[in-house]
Structure 1
Amino acid sequence: MFAKAKIASVFPAVLVFFILAVAPALAADYDLGFSAADIYFSKTTLIAGDQVRIYAKVHNVGGLDITGYVSFFSGINLIGTSQAVSVLPGSSDDVFVDFTVPQSSFNVLAKIQGTQPEDQNASNNETQSALITPEHDTDGDGTVDSQDLDDDNDGLPDNQENENTCPYLLKADSDNDGVDDSHDAFACNLAETLDTDGDGTGNNADIDDDNDGWSDVQEQSHGTDPLRADTDGDGVNDAQDVYPLDATKSREERNIFQPPPVENNTPVTEPAVNPQTEQPSADVQALTEELKNIIESPIALEPEAEVESEQAVVSASAGSAPAFFRLHNWLLWLIVGIILVCLSIVIILFKDKIFASATAPVSKLPLRLAEKSKPQLVSQPQNFSSQTILETKPVRPSSHVIDLKKMKKQ
């Protein structure tokens, strides 16, 4: 009994010694292997659609040199081509293939195949990565959607968009009309894009896109821009601007020599169309028939001649005056002022000449000569009775004397 107990106590120690002594001898000489931790990527963040490289670190855990091939799979699909590998005992080597990150979650499977000499331990020749869920970058701005405040980069923040209702979170053009939601006034209406006047009605349905008082049809007839309330940019809306295409003026300038033009402000109407049949209504057809009858009926020549004569009279009376004779021409007023001043000067000079001729003073010298030429009476008071009275003879006035009577008569 004592001997049996002694053997039983020694047996475990002998077994351990045997394992430690024999195990190195049982190790495989040719053995390539790897694990899931040996699979890694060229980028730490995998974004769907990106090109990356998948690496696998292969270890030679045997005692001799060995070569082989490493193949990568995504599901059942081979990624790239198989890569050759040759590893020295006790060392490792890296192989890789290029890979496009898929849109959904995936695994990568790596296999060691075709070893030379044959691998003596196949249990470590295949490994698979953990499940990988890629990130997304919808707008391609380099920021993944999980960190991007505007995933589709349409100008509308994600908090103003929705995942399953329009406008959509991940669609830059929700209604597919070719205009991004940030520039589309009606992001969910394929028929509308612009609302120029901001009245809530799209330009396609709005009869006055710029809300300037003129309909789009009137804008076309006047040659103005239906998308600009003030086409010439002078600060006055087209409907209130007498000259909507001239930025230098906007108020009416009327020629006093020309009657004002008669404008036809009859509103332009379009024929009504039945939306169901897309055919003109009965009223339009009746109007068309009436116009057709009027056109086909004979027209008297005399009334037409009268109309033409009246138009000729109107055209003659409303002829356009030259720009020189318009009231706002300053040169015209300057010339008129000069003419009036000249006339005033001529009239004043003419009046002064007549007055001077009528009231001209008599020269002193002719008056003295006239006084000397008058007859003098000589009286002798001493002897009046015996005084001889001499008869005076008329003396011819000198040529220097001016006869005022004759001048007045003249």
Structure 2
Amino acid sequence: MGSSVKAIKLELRHVLVLSFLIRIVVISLLSVLPTFIHPFDASHSLLDPDAPGTLRWDAIHYTRIALEGYHYEQHLAFMPGYMGLMRGAGEIVARFAGRNVGINDVVWGGMAVNLLASMGSTTILYNLTMRIASKEFAIITCIFYSFPPSPAVLVSPYTEPTFALFTLLGVDLALKRRNFLSALSLATATSIRATGIFGALVPCALLMSPRGVPTWADLRPKRLIHRLFYAVILSLIVASPFIAFQVYAYRSFCVPSPTRPWCSAKLPLAYSFVQAEYWNNGWLNYWTLQQLPNLIIALPVLIPSYWGSYKYLSYHSVKAIASSGFAVSRTDSGQVIMDSRLFPLHVQHLLLTLLLTFASHTQITLRVCVTDPVVWWNIATLAFDWNESADSRKLTRFGKLWIWWVVLWGSLSIVLWSAHLPPA
């Protein structure tokens, strides 16, 4: 038993080294490429002409918030958690350099935080996968996870790596039935990205139905009321950073005079207004002909996402109907991990995938995917024929296409990022 545990740790260490080296290579490329590629958009130079090549797109907003706070209404689209980490890490960098904190300190501090967060999220994804699948499947999942479709974004001062860390930790704790700690971790995720609120579904659903898929026994009134009360508390914990930030936004921008439209709304939420007003997020707002390329480039992630949801949810739907006494035909699981405890995680995954597809800038799927373990379980499932023995198991056509696409698109995206060209 001891040698088995040692072997597992050794293999995980190999994956972590691989993940670390990939990110160091990407950081090195982003440091060198601006010397040869003149950026199409020079807005980053307004902060600091000598800033690293990772300072692009939303990282510019994050850096300004970390240094100056929330002075502009459009910045209310971003939760403050990661900017606080950037500022704290930047202070440490500046202290070692013997100067007051500046742009470069905050940028490099944010990059250091994300590097550590990426190592942590890979480790948690491995441990999480080991709870529901084999060691081999966990290793393969983490290897794919180490090669994200948007490598430049994930080494830059962006929110996804730290959001992934606390989201995956929250899910792992929920599966251990450590609900309060899970809620605290997911609340931290919400302080980084507002969509962390969806994470409350996992610990609350597992609290209401520990098996994941609800049963008639879970609906007994006394048990239901007790668990429902606790679930409401957990939900409030997860949502509390979002609620607190909306209160802060209202007091900062609407008091003493409510000059902005959202200040006078029945539910004065800055977040929904700013997302629609400045970022054009909303139902089908992104579904235009000019955005068609951005919709297409997200398909390699969206297709396995919807495929996995269909396989898992249809399998458990048929199983639930059959257990009720109705005659139904069996459905092929497609080798998707069918652990019933993952039911709320798959529901959450489907809701977020629908949100990304129909109400967001769809191409951000390429970076947000690192925050969702279901995506990587689906990819690992499709990439190999798991019906074969370990010795004869080979990459499927999807697996080969995925690897080629990640390498080619990932390389191109680094160049586009350095040139400050879309997508981001």
With the shorter chain as reference, the TM-score category is: under 0.3
| Alignment TM-score, normalising by the size of structure 2 | 0.17
**Pair member with larger Rg:** 1
Flag the structure with higher helix content: 2
